[in-house]
Copies of this chain bind each other. A is one copy, B any other.
Amino acid sequence: MTTPDFAATARRVEASFARQTIMETLGARLVRVAPGEVEIALAVAPHVAQQHGFVHAGAVATIADSAAGYAALTTMPEGRGVLTAEFKINLLSPAAGERLVAVGRVVKAGRTLTVAQAEVFAERIGGDETTRKPCALLTATLVAVENRQGVVD
């Protein structure tokens, strides 16, 4: 469903993501924007590691939070943005492999509050196939903001 209207929404998400400078710092990319669903990928690399060489839970949370938040943003009319009020993340397995992919989805869209989840998968690229293992699960509560200078989208 990439209607003309949704193309404009996708552009809002892309423009907002481009302003999240932490994404370039970590090496994360926006890979998919669909109505109520957004994917962000992070290459597993030495500069985002914790003490055992896995990706730090905070980096996992960064892409998961943004994937959930942007999934929520796709449900908002122009001029209304979202801020994360809180999130909870379970780390299910070590964040290792070649790439992490966070898939954010809206659970419940509301006027004031929106609940979204993000599943993070650790991808391991073999010779012929790529395997995906669940590595984290995040649930976020987003609050809609409107007409506040500088905080839209």
Contacts and interface: CB of A to CB of B under 8 A. Distances in A.
Interface string A51-70: 11100111101110110000
Nearest to A136: B86
A20 B50 contact: yes
Interface residues of A, number: 51
A16 to B, nearest CB: 4
B90 A89 contact: no
Assembly stoichiometry (copies):
4
A87 B85 contact: no
Nearest to A48: B22
A48 B47 CA distance: 14
A151 B150 CA distance: 33
A108 interface: yes
A107 interface: yes
A115 B141 CA distance: 13
B137 A107 contact: yes
